[in-house]
């Protein structure tokens, strides 16, 4: 199972059109079981200000890095919660590298565990999701 994302410098630094972006990003999302991105989803992220407008219909490295963060986060968060997360998370190289490092660390911890009881693992995931949502709403400080 290949659960990894490209390093920042491996992300294409040339303008890619929407179809090229979806193909590139989905190659990384598929092994993680994330919902594949479509062109209309990406356009919706632009409309909701989760992603800045493409330049001459082309998406750059910054767009792709942010799309990867959005797509991975979407497995447990609503778009409204993702917007809150993005507001508190740095952008650019630093933000992407922090995101990837934390993701790889979390995946390493979880997959290094001895297989457990499915119910316990399910309830732990539920508890983490509830905590995350409460924190993003500002219920926990």
List the chain domain ranges.
Answer: 8-113
> Residue 1's pLDDT is what?
57
Task: Map 49-86 to HEC letters.
Answer: CCCCCCECCEECHHHHHHHHHHHHHCCCCCHHHHHHHH
Architecture of domain 8-113: Orthogonal Bundle (1.10)
Start-to-end CA distance of the chain, whole Å, equals: 36
* Phi-psi category of residue 52: left, alpha or beta, with phi > 0 → left and psi -120 to 50 → alpha: beta
Positions in the chain short of pLDDT 70 = 1-2
Cβ atoms within 10 A of the Cβ of 88, count?
7
Q: Which residues pair with 55 in a beta bridge?
A: 58
> Residue 24's pLDDT is what?
97
Q: CA-CA distance, 56 to 19, in Å (whole number)?
A: 14
Q: Is the pTM of this model over 0.85?
A: yes
């Amino acid at each position: 199972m290949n659960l990894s994302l490209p390093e920042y410098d491996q992300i294409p630094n040339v303008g890619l059109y929407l179809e090229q972006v979806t193909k590139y990003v989905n190659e990384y999302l598929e092994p993680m079981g994330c919902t594949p991105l479509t062109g209309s989803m990406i356009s919706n992220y632009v409309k909701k200000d989760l992603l800045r407008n493409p330049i001459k219909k082309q998406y750059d490295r910054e767009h792709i890095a942010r799309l990867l963060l959005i797509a991975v986060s979407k497995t447990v968060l609503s778009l409204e919660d993702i917007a809150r997360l993005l507001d508190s998370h740095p952008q650019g190289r630093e933000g992407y590298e922090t995101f990837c490092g934390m993701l790889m660390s979390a995946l390493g911890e979880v997959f290094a565990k001895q297989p457990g009881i499915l119910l316990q693992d399910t309830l732990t995931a539920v508890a983490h999701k509830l905590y995350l949502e409460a924190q993003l709403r500002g219920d926990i400080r």
